[in-house]
Amino acid sequence: MRLSSTVAILIVVILHSFASSGKAQTITMTPKKASLYEVIQQIRTQSGYDFILDKQLLQRSKPVSLKLQHVPLEESLKQIFAGQPLSYEINEEHKLVVVSEKEKSIMDAIRDAVGGTRHPELDSGPLQQPITGRVTDSLGTPLPGATVKIKGTPRATFTNKNGEFSLRGVEDDAILQISFLGYSTKEIPANSSINVIILFRTNSELQEAEVTVNTGYQTLSKKNATGSFDLIGRNTLDKRVTTTILEQLDGNASGVLLPHGINGDADRIIIRGNSTIFANNKPLVVVDNFPYDGDLTNINPNDVLSISVLKDAAASAIWGVRSGNGVIVITTKKGSLNSKPTIELTSSVTVTGKPDLFYASSLSTAQAVDVQKFLYENGAYNDAIQSSYQAFPPVAQILEDLKSEKINEDEANSQLNQLTKHDARNDLLKYYYRDQVNQQYLLNVSGGSNNQKYYLSGGFDKNLNNQIDNSFKRFTLNVNNSYFLFNDRLEVNTGVNFVSSLTSSSLDNYQPVNLYDKIADENGNPIPVFSNYSRDYTESSTNSQLLDWHYVPLDNGKNIQTWNTTDYKINISLSYKILAGLTASLKYQYQKGVADHDSQYDKKSFYVRDMVNQYSDLSSGSLVRNIPVGDILDRVNESYFSHWGRAQLDYNRSFNGNSIFSAAGGVEINSNNTRVSVSDRLYGYDPAIDAEQFVQYDVPFTNYVTGSTNSISHERYLQGTTDHSISYWFNGLYAYRERYSLSGSIRRDEANIFGVKTNQKGVPLWSLGAAWNIHKESFYHINWLPYLKLRVTNGYNGNFDKSISAFTTANYVTNNFISGLPMSEIINPPNPSLRWEKTNVTNIGVDYGIKGDIITGSIEVFEKRGTDLIGFSPLSPQTGLLQFKGNVNNLQTKGFDVVLNVKPFKREFKWDINYMLSYAKDIVTKNLIKQPNVASYMIGNYQNPLEGYPVSALFSYQWKGLDADGNPQGLLNGNVSEDYLSISNSTNLSELVYNGSYTPTLYGSLRNTFNYKDFDVSINIIYKLHYYFRRSSLNSSSIYSGSSKIADYALRWQKPGDENSTEVPALIFPANGSRDEFYNYSSALIEKGDQVRLQSIYLGYTLPKKCLNRWKIANFRIYGNINNLGILWKANKKGIDPDYGTFGIPTPKVYAIGLNANF
């Protein structure tokens, strides 16, 4: 019902979009002694036309005073340019107005009007055949309006929409000068062979002037901006095929780190190091000017136009307390004014190979058998064998059969040898894994008239994941409309986004207990494994009234968990031009998401049969099933909704063409609500009729297997959060003579979760910035470096932690088991002084460009000082609590970002090099809670970081080698010791070894892009340096518990003298947990994580226009992409991938092929 109503609304919106195209375009303005520059800016805003002109010409223009009321563009331009020493030419195809200086000679003007034709009576010189040619940029894009002039004469003409020109009557010895704004002028002899003339950009300043950055509140020109931004455009996004948009940030933005693998949260993005310790550590994501509260996997990457990363205070402080970890602004695609309907189709197929299960360090099957023989001989399985039901390994069963003379020694050896020939990992790859196939389809329609533009897209994704029965489907619908009413004074924008996705995964997740376990016979028929109960117990139960108790992994029913999510986002904005340069706007967004999570266990599954049997009762001679036969279903419902509202005033004004002032201010309100509902587990569930059977939850039953008394498990709870906030903000920028820029912002955020008193609920945050275009100064004469800009900013960002509040919060648990009265537990004690976290950010940057754009880039250094960070503080036990969570921690982060862009070749063959290098290291400068012993810092320093070290500090025990018996040795009070328990309980921090950070502190990427004619190739390499990881090694406790994921087994100490050639301890029985813990957290197992990885290779081909015109196809492109190609270099010599450690499974190579077509 929800989907059908949404689709109906969208159909009406779409029909209105198409019906609105084609209205007449008019200009309305009443300038009084305004500069021609200001008038052109208004024309550009109202008409959507761009102007090409030399700014020096404006200095000779006259002030404009006139009144235009609904006057067509062409007539408006006639009146505006009347009496000006300038002429113009309108290019309707490309929506351009080319402005040039009027010719002094009437005859020359006549010649220009006819394409430079000479009159025979005025010039009797020799004539040449007509000169024709085409002017393009380095990519082959036509340059309409380029000037083609005969050097030393006033004669000139302009190129047409295709970049073509024609001149007649040109002398043989004439020189042609070809120029275009922002490009170097080129001179060629008129008598040479002229075909295509390629112009190149003159300097990086002109290139920067074309780049704008969306902060979510304003769109700023990077030329005047003072803050630190990174912009990822569509061209870069197209170089990698992904299902989620944030994967595109990896290696494409400076200062941005995705800490994959063993030391990183899969969903975490770090911008310029840590800014917090215990509070929210994720950056704010903004989509089309509003914070996005939904699941980021719901954003279709093909709908995204660009991504801006805001890194310093001047860039991100306008977002207040949500900006402490940086801001990622996503801008989606929109339509264009005065554009015919354009249809775009994007489709891709991605194939990922099966994972390499043999990468993880493991015992061999022969070693696994040897270990179990050793354990059997030392009595490790005696309790299980003597038990009536406990499972024990097949090796122990064979040896027990030999002991009881059921088989002889030759038969036992033969059976043991057979076990060594089978590796269960091959069964997993055969029966549980497949090649992953992802399909993406997106169809969009966009266009517009002179006062309306629209964009509509529909997308469908279908992923069949590596694990069989795991899949993902997503349907997206996106509609954006913009209307320009009342002579373009009123702008109305509407947007509707709908996402529905279904994620399915298997609940089986079979993992062999023994490395040699078989799940199918030689003919592929499923066979049971005895990993839960012993073989004899299972077989004896088969003939009883109980359900079959065999566990057959390949015949275990369908056990599936699903996440069915629906996400809506509706926004509307009104913008009204009150006066010239002054605009008022109102924006509102409503977002709602619903997720239903079902976990359903098939009645045929071992999980259900085992639970039914355990709660069965045969004491009376007849069978009583306290859990009915049928499926078991767990249901969880999660939902959220949010309201965002913003009232804003914008003022933008240029003064005499010398200075620009831009300001915005307003108020913003926000309300967020989340809800999680967990229903009772449903037993005896029948999906055909959606019904369950009755179960007595509160009655204790005797477990059939163990004889213990238990009640039937169930879980039911309801929880939710509500928070409201209001913000007031102002942001301004002043630029003078394109040389100096000053920016400032201030914001106050207030929320209901902070402070008891009104003046405690909010925090003011601010920023100041300055920029200096040094190359604009009259004293600057460095010709080889025509662009040099200095930026300095300082300000405060904020952060929050929704898990705490200024007020006492408690959670109702259940009735007290003694008194029977309701009981609650304190979640958060009262803290009336609770405040937002604050981070002071200083940033100094230099932007530069070498002549001809051969080398451009930036160098930035920054420092972040976090104060009032959320942490833990000890309390006196008399309070009833040992510690509380509040504003008690401080953190300092320093670093730099370097960006280097090089263009060695810019002609028909083009080569672009993009190099990024970032460094970020944090230090905890204040933490009131101290760990009880050195072991706590090694196992979990992040839980309460040690002052003076990074949050991600990696500590270890000092390693003093092995003794003559193969025992590991450490340091205790300055002496070599094997007292492992005392070593771990020591409080002597000087005996800790600080190895470094387990998060990379130096990282970046190198991307090479090659273009030749219609082909382009991109190769991206990423690197992560200056960090460490802890590898795994021999662990007696793990071996004896049955794990086969054991490293260094063959390298262990086995005989006296081995201590001189190995650092792997001897196996001992029984295992000593303190001994294992010491060795596994010793410095002997610390490795450098430094690595260089080939992330992706991309190849694209665009079909030539001449091949497409006959099918009315504007553009057709095919491409291929390979991701995760592997490590080029790593510092550790153990063959370990630092991203996945000893036991992880690296992501396989990903192959993608796709097409993009425009009609």
Round to whole Å and give the CA distance between 316 and 184: 36
Q: Which residue has the tokens 């404009």?
A: 64
Residue 170's CATH number: 2.60.40.1120
The number of angstroms, rounded, from the C-alpha of 1146 to the middle of its chain's C-alpha atoms is 19
In the beta sheet, which residues pair with residue 1013?
none
CA–CA dist 839, 819 (Å, integer): 48
Asked if 927 and 954 touch (Cβ cutoff 8 Å), the reply is no
What lies within 8 Å, CB to CB, of 727 at 6+ separation is 320, 667, 668, 669, 670, 747, 748, 749, 750
Domain end point (choices 177, 200, 223): 200
Residue 1041 lies in a domain: no
Would you give the distance in Å from CA 900 to the centre of its chain?
23
Question: Do both 78 and 92 map to the same domain?
Answer: yes
From residue 574, give the alpha-carbon distance in Å to each of 72, 706, 947: 25, 69, 51
280: CATH: 2.170.130.10
CB burial of residue 94 (10 Å; 0-12, 13-18, 19+): middle
Contact by Cβ (8 Å): 6, 498:
yes
Tell me whether residue 1087 is in a domain: no
DSSP strand E in 210-315: where? 212-214, 219-221, 229-232, 256-257, 270-271, 284-287, 290-291, 304-310
Of 47, 74, 102, which closes a domain?
A: 102
Which parts of the chain register pLDDT below 70? 1-25, 53-57, 92-94, 103-130, 138-141, 152-155, 161-162, 168-169, 181-183, 191-193, 195, 200-213, 261-266, 543, 657, 754-761, 812-820, 878
Same domain, 255 and 329: yes
Going from the C-alpha of 314 to that of each of 256, 323, 326, 569, 731, the distances in angstroms are: 18, 11, 11, 29, 9
pLDDT confidence of residue 161: 62
Q: Say if residue 139 is in the same domain as residue 91.
A: no
Same domain, 242 and 312: yes
Of 122, 123, 313, nearest to 841 by C-alpha is 313
Is 173 in the same domain as 262?
A: no
Question: Nearest to residue 743, comparing CAs of 227, 311, 319, 231?
Answer: 227
The answer to whether 480 and 10 have CB atoms below 8 angstroms apart is no
Tell me, yes or no, whether 261 and 306 share the same domain. yes
Within-domain flag for 133: yes
| Domain that residue 43 falls in | 31-102
**Does some domain include residue 682?**
no
* CA pair distance 607, 623, nearest whole angstrom: 20
Q: Check residue 140 and give its pLDDT.
A: 61
What are the tokens at 1089?
């994580």
Query: Does 190 lie in the same domain as 90?
Result: no
Q: Is residue 91 part of a domain?
A: yes
Contact (CB, 8 A) for 191 and 154: no
Same domain, 214 and 330: yes
Whether residues 192 and 238 share a domain: the answer is no
Structure confidence at residue 966 (pLDDT): 96
Residues 210 and 332 both lie in one domain: yes
Q: Residue count of the chain, please give it.
A: 1159
Structural domain contains residue 607: no
| CATH number of the domain encompassing residue 48 | 3.55.50.30
Cα angle 290, 295, 296 (rounded to 5 degrees) comes to: 70
Domain presence at residue 82? yes
Residue 179 lies in a domain: yes
Residue-level pLDDT at 119: 34
289 and 266 together in one domain: yes
CB-based burial, 730-745: b 16+ in 10 Å, e otherwise = bbebbbeebbebbbbb
Nearest to 767 by CA among 221, 311, 214: 311
Both 323 and 213 in a single domain? yes
Cα separation, 626 vs 714, in Å, equals: 14
If one counts the domains in the chain, the total is 3
Q: Which residue in this structure is represented by tokens 């100490």?
A: 1053
Could you say which of 305, 336, 367 is where a domain stops? 336
